[in-house]
Amino acid sequence: MNQTRNKSNFNHQIIDRYTSGHTSKVHWKHRDVRAVQFEALQSPNAYTRSSISSIMKRILVIAGSDSSGGAGLEADQKAIAAHGCYAMTATTALTAQNTQGVSGIHETPPDFVRKQIDACVADIGVDVVKTGMLASAETVNVVAKSLQKYELDVSVVDPVMVATSGAQLLPEKAVKVLCDKLLPVTFLLTPNIPEANLILKEAGEAPVEVNDKEGLKKLAAAVQRLGPKNVLLKGGHLPLTADGRLATSAGDKRVVANVLTGPGFNEVIELPYQESRNTHGTGCTLASAIACRLAEGYRIDRAARMACRYVEAGIKTSVDLGRGSGPLNHFHSTQSLPFPPHGFIQYLLEREDVQPAWNEYTHHEFVQRMGDGTLPPETFKYYMIQDYLYLVHFARANALAGYKAKTLDDIAGAAQIVTHIRHEINLHISECQEFGLCQADMEQHEESQACTAYTRYVLDIGQSEDWLALQVALLPCLLGYGMIAQRLHEMQVTDPPKQPNRYLSWINNYIAEDYTQAVKKGRDLIEKHAVKQSPSRVEELVAIFIHATKMETGFWNMAASA
C-alpha cells in the first residue's frame, strides 16, 4: 500500500476519529482506514455520520463500460460522484450498447485488468471495491485474487450476468468460478432474483421459487450460505401486492421488496413500485451507492436503505432518453442532503437520535392503555380537558404559520389545517359531554404545566424561527396522533380488548379521512420546503423535532399521573 500514508502521523489522527470508540476492536492489517471500517461495520453500535472523517472516500469499480452511459462504469461513476466520493476504474470490457440492447462486447485481457487494479491500489488506495460486469472466468479469478492480495475486505459484488435488454454478459463457466473463488471473499453480494437462482444452480443447489416476501427471504438466505458475508437480494423483477404476495397483474403491483441478510441482519426493505421504463443501470447504481455509504462508515443495513431510496428517487426523477430502457437521474440530490426529494420525514423518523424519543412518545403506557381499553375514565377525562386547551394554542400556532408563509398556497394550507383543528375541537366537545363537561367548563379549567410548557415552546418557535421550523415543531402532534391511532386501530383486530373499548371513538377520529388528509397536507408542505434547506439547517430542524416530541411525551406523563 501507499508508503507515504504509512509514514504519516496525520493518518493516526484520522483513524482515531474514524473508529469513534472502536479502536479496541480493530485488528490492524495495515495502516489504512478500511481496516477499521471492516471491523466497525460489524458492530451493532456502528458509528454515525457525525463521527466520520471528512476525507473523500475512495471507491474502486471493477466493471464493464456502457457506451450509452446508463449502466456499467458510467453509471457507477455518476452515482459515486453524486455521493461525494472518489471513483477509480478497472475496465473489464467495452460494450457497444444503447437503451435498446447490446450489439458488441470487447473484453479486456484479464492481465490488464489486474494491472489497472494494481495501479489504483498502489497509489491512491481503496476504501471499498465495487464490481459489476466481469466478462470472463479469468477476470473473475483475477478479482478474487486481488481482493485477497490487498486484503480489500469491504467489497460490494454486483454479479452482473444478463443486461436489462437480455444480453448475456457473463458466461456460465464464469459463474462457477464466481461461486468458488469470489463469493467466499465478498462482503456484500447484490444479485437480482434470476442471478441468485443461477448462482444456486452453478453451486449445485436447488433453485428457490419466489411467490412472496418469505420466498425472497429463503432465496437470499440460500445464496448467503454459499459464502458471501452479506446478501442484498433485489426483488425488482417480481413486484409484490400490498400484502406481500407476487403480483399477477399490472394493477396489483404495489411494492418492490429487497431482502438484506447476513450476520445480525435479516430484513426486508420495501419500496413503492414505480411504473417506469427508465431502469437501465439500477443494479449498478444501487451497488455503487451502497459502496459509498459503507465507505462513509454507515452500518450495512443503513447503507442499503439509503442506497435503495437514492435509486428510488433516481427512477422517480428520471427523464426519457433513447427509445428503450432509459437511465436513472443520478444527480437528483446533488445538494448533498441526506435524503431525496419527499424523503425528509422518513429520514427524520429513521435517525438514531430521533427514534428513542419518537418510540417513547408513540408507545407510551397511556397510549397502550387506550388501545386495550384499560385507561381509567377519569384519567382520560383530564387528558381531554388539557388536550382541548392545547388544541386552542395549536390552532393559534397554525394561524401564525399562515402569517409567516410566503405564498398563497402555503397560507391556504395553514388555513385548512386550522379549519381541521376546529373540527377536531368540536369532536372533543362532543366526547367531553359524555363526562358532563361543556365547552365553558373546559375553558375555565387551569392549564397543566406540561400543556403550558409545550404550547409556549411551539409558539416561541413560531415567533423566533422561520415558517418551516414552526411546521416541524407542530409535526410530532400532527403526525404522531395519526400513527398512534392507526396502530391502536389494528390492535382492535389483532389483539382485541376483552370488553368493548370505550376509547374507540378517539381512535377512529384520528384514522378518519379528514384527519389523514390533514396529515398529508402538513407533510406535503414540509417536504416541499425541506429540500431547499442546507445540511446544517436540517440538523437544527431535527433538534426542534426531537424537543417537540419530548414535549408530547411530557403531555402523556401529565395525563397519566392525574
pLDDT tens track for 209-253:
999 989 999 999 999 999 999 999 998 888 888 888 888 888 888
Ranges for all domains in the chain classified under CATH 3.40.1190.20:
58-233+277-317
**Polymer length of the chain:** 562
| Strands lying side by side in the sheet with 230-233 | 101-107, 86-98, 58-66, 128-131, 155-157, 188-189, 230-233, 255-262, 265-272
Across 454-466, average pLDDT: 90
Cβ within 8 Å of residue 227, ≥6 positions away: 179, 183, 184, 186
DSSP state letter for 178: I
Give the amino acid at 484: I
Distance CA 282, CA 140 (A): 22
Per the model's pLDDT, the better-predicted residue between 1 and 341 turns out to be 341
3-state secondary structure of 37: helix
pLDDT of residue 335: 59
Per the model's pLDDT, the better-predicted residue between 41 and 318 turns out to be 318
- Cα separation values, 208 from 183, 216, 286, Å: 19, 8, 23
pLDDT of residue 5: 37
Q: Give the closest residue to 12 by CA, choosing from 33, 41, 29, 38.
A: 33
Helix axes 282-295, 33-41, angle to 10 degrees: 100
Phi/psi for 212 (5° steps) reads -165, -175
Answer for the pair 186, 159: CB distance below 8 angstroms, yes or no.
Answer: no
Joined together, the cell numbers standing for residue 28 give 490492524
Phi/psi for 126 (5° steps) reads -135, 130
Alpha helices, DSSP H, located in 108-192: 110-123, 137-149, 172-177
pLDDT at 31 over 70: no
Per the model's pLDDT, the better-predicted residue between 471 and 36 turns out to be 471
- pLDDT category at 163 given cuts 50, 70, 90 is low
pLDDT of residue 545: 97
- Cα separation values, 153 from 41, 244, 433, Å: 11, 35, 67
pLDDT of residue 3: 40
Percent of the chain with pLDDT over 90: 52
pLDDT in tens, 207-217: 999 999 899 99
Distance CA 136, CA 384 (A): 70
Phi/psi for 429 (5° steps) reads -60, -40
The shares of helix, strand and coil residues in the chain, as percent rounded to the nearest 5, are: 55, 10, 30
Answer for the pair 283, 158: CB distance below 8 angstroms, yes or no.
Answer: yes
Q: Give the closest residue to 240 by CA, choosing from 254, 219, 228.
A: 254
Query: With 0-12 CB in 10 A as exposed, 13-18 as middle and 19+ as buried, what is 282?
Result: buried
Across 450-474, average pLDDT: 90
pLDDT at 19 over 70: no
Residue range 343-561, CATH number? 1.20.910.10
Distance CA 476, CA 354 (A): 11
Phi/psi for 162 (5° steps) reads -135, 135
Q: Ranked by mean pLDDT, which of 187-191, 329-333, 500-504 comes out on top?
A: 187-191
Distance CA 205, CA 179 (A): 12
- pLDDT category at 283 given cuts 50, 70, 90 is very high
- pLDDT category at 52 given cuts 50, 70, 90 is very low
Across 258-263, average pLDDT: 94
Alpha helices, DSSP H, located in 50-131: 72-82, 110-123
| Lowest-pLDDT range of 11-15, 32-36, 278-282, 524-528 | 11-15
pLDDT at 27 over 70: no
Answer for the pair 474, 399: CB distance below 8 angstroms, yes or no.
Answer: no
The pairing of beta strand 155-157 with beta strand 86-98: unpaired
pLDDT in tens, 7-17: 333 333 333 32
Distance CA 29, CA 26 (A): 9
Distance CA 93, CA 134 (A): 8
Q: Give the closest residue to 291 by CA, choosing from 41, 552, 549.
A: 41
Give the amino acid at 473: A
pLDDT in tens, 91-106: 999 999 998 988 899 9
Q: Which residues are catalytic?
A: 234, 279, 281-284
Mean pLDDT (the chain, rounded): 85
Ranges for all domains in the chain classified under CATH 1.20.910.10:
343-561
Q: Please give the full DSSP string across 458-516, using - where no structure is assigned.
A: HHHHHHHS-HHHHHHHHHHHHHHHHHHHHHHHHHHHHS--SS--TTHHHHHHTTSHHHH
Rounded-to-10 torsion of CA 174, 179, 182, 184: -170
pLDDT at 421 over 60: yes
Distance CA 303, CA 295 (A): 10
pLDDT of residue 30: 34
Compute the radius of gyration of the chain from its Cα atoms: 27
- Cα separation values, 483 from 16, 169, 362, 488, 521, Å: 41, 46, 8, 9, 15
pLDDT of residue 248: 86
The pairing of beta strand 255-262 with beta strand 230-233: antiparallel
Q: Ranked by mean pLDDT, which of 154-168, 440-454, 521-535 comes out on top?
A: 521-535
| Lowest-pLDDT range of 76-90, 165-179, 311-325 | 165-179
pLDDT at 198 over 50: yes
pLDDT in tens, 70-126: 999 999 999 999 999 999 999 999 999 998 988 899 999 999 999 999 999 999 999
Which residues make beta-bridge pairs with 246?
A: 240
- pLDDT category at 2 given cuts 50, 70, 90 is very low
pLDDT at 518 over 80: yes
pLDDT of residue 507: 92
Percent of the chain with pLDDT over 70: 89
CATH classification (class only), 58-233+277-317:
alpha beta
